[in-house]
Structure 1
């Protein structure tokens, strides 16, 4: 068991990455943080309020990536019918993939909803 896993630190890292993507802004509909591009949500950033684990929800259109995300501990298709469109909710807990993998999923979700001109600018956007 990895006693060093810090869900809040991981959440902050994925939030920071999401907000670093081209022309992204953060909004707070329904009391939760979301990252949007071109007025479209590409990641819901659940902070863990209400006794739930911090986590996020992303849209993954590649079948293999979608399957990998669903294999993360506690991951499931998103509620409210979003799961049918490829949205996956990933709680941040023991056994969660590395931040780099989580950021890849967020980038994939961004590509799924961003205009092509913005999605093309992603190369090299991840901080070292």
Structure 2
């Protein structure tokens, strides 16, 4: 594996570990090659796997339209999820987004998918 992909994989692990800090979250593997983030078995982030370019799909009910305008590679998530506010973004090989941006997306998606009682336990995201 090359140094660029190692950096992407480390970023992916950081994103996954951040998502796992939320109450009652776990990794969900609905089919081989996927390690998605879920709360009480309800997915809140679909993540790429190690060895691939970074990509993420999140439910973004508040910022989704802005994300689709700002990021040329942002699209409504397939399988009809886009109709419910899900947005997918992929980056070219070796490219990485700002970690604070991805953490905000994870936070928004967690709050959209988690039971209200759990979402209230989480402090507001940093600016």
**Could you say which TM-score interval applies, normalised by the shorter chain?**
0.7 to 0.9
- The match for 2:45 is 43
Deviations 1:29-76 (A, max 9, x none): 122111111221111112166xx52211100111xx112322225221
Unaligned segments of structure 1, at least 5 residues: none
Inter-partner Cα distance in structure 2 for 1:116 and 1:89: 24
Unaligned segments of structure 2, at least 5 residues: none
TM-score relative to the length of structure 1: 0.79
- The match for 2:57 is 57
SS of structure 2 residue aligned to 1:20: coil
Superposition deviation, residue 7 in structure 1: 2.6
SS of structure 2 residue aligned to 1:29: coil
Superposition deviation, residue 117 in structure 1: 1.4
Provide the alpha-carbon RMSD of the alignment: 2.5
- Structure 1: 4+ residue segments shifted above 3 A: 92-97
Q: 2:66 aligns with which of 51, 65, 68?
A: 68
Superposition deviation, residue 91 in structure 1: 1.5
